[in-house]
Amino acid sequence: MSETMYRSDYVISMWDQPSVAVAGGAAYPVRHIYCVGRNYAEHAREMGTDPEREPPFFFMKGADSVVSNGAQIKYPSRTQDLHHEVELVVAMGARGTDISVSDASDAIFGYAVGVDLTRRDLQQAMKEKGRPWEIGKSFAQAAPVGEIQPAWNIGHPREGKISLSVNGEVRQEADIKDMIWGVDEVIAELSTYYRLEPGDLVFTGTPAGVSALTRGDSVSCVIDGLEPLEFSIATV
């Protein structure tokens, strides 16, 4: 086979680039999805841990976990305990490592409402065995994200109500100012582990009230100043 046969072409068909809608009609291509664990004190307590202000820890979801606003999500396989976790999502707009807290906002493109869907039973089983629990966090349609609002339009939200309702019933409600580690601190810390790039999404943690979703549920999520996020869980 000729070495020049493929030249600039890929040897397999290229998959669709995951993306999130941006206010104004453009799209934001997704490279990586980083998530912060236990960044609200009350949520840390409901998960059975002490919310001391120790350095934040991170995990990742595949970029193909992203699903658009208004989607109908298929109930994922291998779980009987699918949980919702509403979060403020940061969309990076600049490359950087070792970003200072004071410079973090300058590296941010915009903000959106997101939900970290979690196969809680699988996550817990992995924790009990001392194994990585990515299997409970990263799967198809595990990261619904609403429309991104550019920072040049809305500034940099550091306070405001965050809430999630299921079938009209409020389950999670707090203020983003209640984060243990603020947005700028999260970005600064994360950038000491990874080179952040435009296209990276950062889920900044969820408040208390996480609970199970069932087939047929309708989910509505709100953060003050951002476009609401809505999705449903398919019945089959």
Q: What is the pLDDT along the chain (236 residues), one digit of tens a residue?
A: 344 444 568 999 989 999 999 999 999 999 999 999 989 977 566 666 666 767 889 999 999 999 999 999 999 999 999 999 999 999 999 999 999 999 999 999 999 999 999 999 999 999 999 999 999 999 999 999 999 999 999 999 999 999 999 999 999 999 999 999 999 999 999 999 999 999 999 999 999 999 999 999 999 999 999 999 999 999 99
> Contact at 8 Å (CB) between 219 and 82?
no
Amino acid identity, residue 115? Answer: V
In a domain, 176, yes or no: yes
Amino acid at the residue 77: S
φ/ψ of residue 124, rounded to 5: -65, -40
> Rounded to whole angstroms, what are the CA distances from 65 to 10, 58, 140, 161, 179?
23, 17, 5, 25, 24
Residue 11 inside a domain? The answer is: no
Cα–Cα dist 91/109, whole Å = 5
Residue 7 lies in a domain: no
Phi/psi-derived region of residue 223, left when phi > 0, alpha when psi is between -120 and 50, beta in every other case: beta
**Does residue 89 fall inside a structural domain?**
yes
- Asked whether the beta carbons of 143 and 113 are under 8 A apart, the reply is no
CA angle 116, 224, 188 (to 5 degrees): 60
Asked if residue 169 belongs to a domain, the reply is: yes
Domain limits at 206? Answer: 19-233
Q: Is 5 exposed, middle or buried (0-12, 13-18, 19+ CB in 10 A)?
A: exposed
Q: d(Cα 9, Cα 74) in Å, to the nearest integer?
A: 34
Q: What are the phi and psi torsion angles at 122 (to 5°)? A: -70, -40
Burial class (CB in 10 A: 0-12, 13-18, 19+), 58: middle
CATH of the domain at 63: 3.90.850.10
Amino acid in position 52: E
1 falls within a domain: no
On whether residue 221 sits in a domain, the answer given is: yes
As for how many domains the chain has, the answer is: 1
In a domain, 153, yes or no: yes
